[in-house]
């Protein structure tokens, strides 16, 4: 990187075809802003008031079964509904445009133990979650009007999680949302221009250089992307060109479970806290079109910047101008590489 890593510069994100501003000289500025609370596990394996624990009544009134593994259900407060009437058209201006948005939203509980997170689950416990994600993608994607299946997790109160029970969400939509739509366009254009998969080429570049690779296993690589916006953002990429989880072999699913365990453990160890993040899988749209360009990957967007209590805020210039980060991607990758894969909490 040389001198560029010491001074402000812009980096290109080929997946979104947009720029990010990097300002590494700002890392030394004093902080007198908000100080959050350090997150810690309560150690409570069953919470009587938790609407996701086995056997408990949910907020919508339904009662959970006494599940012992993964458990999926329709979200009691879904952001999208399968039948949504078209909004009334405003004939006064073509700028006031709206259309119906249909979808199906589900919740997936990873484990009956209320105290766990992906970081504190074993690889053997994460593996059935991978299978459940694959089945949900396949089942929802087979519905004729579903064009995209977005699997994601908000971990921690700092990222808006309403319940600490280990769980994620699955929003399947009758349209392709903006972020995967942008990635579809970028990957398709790159394939048409070069004859090569964008992420296959990008991963080969990162593996050759090594400075932004956090770790690898046989089937996946974790890299702080060149264009990272969040301080310790990570892209988890399959080494084989595959578009979605159902395409993975048994061994590749094992590799994904291993990658998720290793990455989330390193996150927790970085500041010795239950590390908050938003994580999601980007997979082939289920709109019935040919998507040879699509390459499976997971985005991890964690907000912590300096410690377990100081976060990165996306405000001001980020909201009005363009994304900006202080820590270089290379520096973030180095710090994550230095983290142990043995969890700092006893028994985790």
Q: DSSP labels for 90-139?
A: -TT-TTS-----BEEEEEEE--S-TT--GGGS-HHHHHHHHHHHHHHHHH
The reported pLDDT for the residue numbered 332 is 96
Does residue 295 lie in a domain region?
yes
The reported pLDDT for the residue numbered 38 is 58
pLDDT at 31 over 50: no
pLDDT band at 162 (very low <50, low <70, confident <90, very high): confident
Does residue 343 lie in a domain region?
no
Does residue 10 lie in a domain region?
no
Q: How far apart are CA 320 and CA 99, in angstroms?
A: 27
pLDDT band at 306 (very low <50, low <70, confident <90, very high): confident
Average pLDDT, the chain: 93
pTM: 0.94
Q: Which helix (H) or strand (E) holds 12?
A: strand 9-13
Specify the CATH number for the domain of residue 43: 3.30.428.10
* Averaged pLDDT, 157-182: 96
The reported pLDDT for the residue numbered 212 is 98
Higher-pLDDT residue of 182 and 33 is: 182
Instruction: Given the residues 111, 114, 165, 167, select the one marked as catalytic.
Output: 167
The reported pLDDT for the residue numbered 175 is 97
Lowest mean pLDDT among 59-63, 174-178, 198-202, 205-209: 59-63
Does residue 251 lie in a domain region?
yes
Does residue 29 lie in a domain region?
no
Does residue 63 lie in a domain region?
yes
Helix axes 250-271, 123-141, angle to 10 degrees: 120
**Domains held by the chain: number:** 1
Does residue 7 lie in a domain region?
no
* Averaged pLDDT, 24-34: 57
Lookup: tokens for 241: 């060109």
Q: How far apart are CA 301 and CA 154, in angstroms?
A: 10
Q: How far apart are CA 82 and CA 92, in angstroms?
A: 29
Show the domain range for 195. Answer: 16-24+34-84+99-338
Q: What percent of the chain has pLDDT over 70?
A: 93
pLDDT band at 276 (very low <50, low <70, confident <90, very high): very high
Active site residue 343: no
Q: How far apart are CA 285 and CA 181, in angstroms?
A: 9
Lowest mean pLDDT among 104-108, 238-242, 258-262, 309-313: 309-313
Does residue 280 lie in a domain region?
yes
């Amino acid at each position: 990187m040389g001198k560029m890593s010491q001074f402000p510069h812009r980096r290109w994100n080929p997946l979104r075809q947009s720029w990010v501003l990097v300002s590494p000289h700002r890392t030394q500025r004093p902080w007198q802003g908000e100080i959050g609370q350090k997150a810690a596990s309560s150690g409570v394996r069953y919470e009587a008031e938790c609407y996701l624990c086995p056997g408990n009544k949910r907020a919508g009134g339904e009662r959970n079964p006494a599940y012992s593994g993964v458990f999926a259900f329709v979200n009691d407060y879904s952001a999208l509904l399968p039948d949504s009437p078209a909004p009334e058209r405003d004939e006064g201006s073509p700028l006031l445009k709206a259309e119906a948005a249909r979808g199906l939203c589900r919740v997936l509980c990873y484990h009956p133990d209320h105290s766990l997170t992906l970081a504190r689950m074993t690889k053997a416990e994460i593996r059935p979650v991978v299978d459940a994600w694959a089945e949900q993608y396949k089942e929802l994607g087979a519905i004729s009007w579903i064009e995209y299946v977005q699997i994601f997790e908000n971990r921690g109160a700092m990222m808006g999680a309403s319940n600490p029970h280990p769980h994620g969400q699955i929003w399947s939509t009758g349209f392709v949302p903006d972020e995967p739509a942008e990635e579809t366009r970028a990957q398709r254009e790159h394939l048409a221009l070069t004859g090569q998969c964008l992420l296959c080429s990008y991963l080969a570049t990162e593996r050759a250089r090594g400075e932004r690779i956090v770790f690898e296993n046989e089937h996946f690589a974790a890299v702080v992307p060149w264009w990272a916006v969040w301080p310790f953002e990570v892209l988890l990429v399959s080494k084989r060109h595959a578009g979605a989880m159902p395409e993975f072999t048994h061994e590749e699913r094992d590799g994904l479970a291993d990658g998720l365990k290793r990455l989330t453990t390193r996150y927790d160890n970085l500041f010795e806290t239950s590390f908050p993040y938003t994580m999601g899988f980007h997979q082939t749209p289920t709109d019935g079109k040919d998507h040879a360009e699509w390459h499976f990957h997971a985005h991890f967007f964690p907000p912590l910047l300096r410690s377990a209590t100081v976060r990165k805020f996306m405000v001001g210039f980020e909201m009005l101008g363009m994304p900006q980060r202080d820590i270089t991607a290379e520096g973030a990758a180095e710090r994550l590489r230095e983290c142990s894969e043995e969890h700092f909490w006893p028994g985790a």
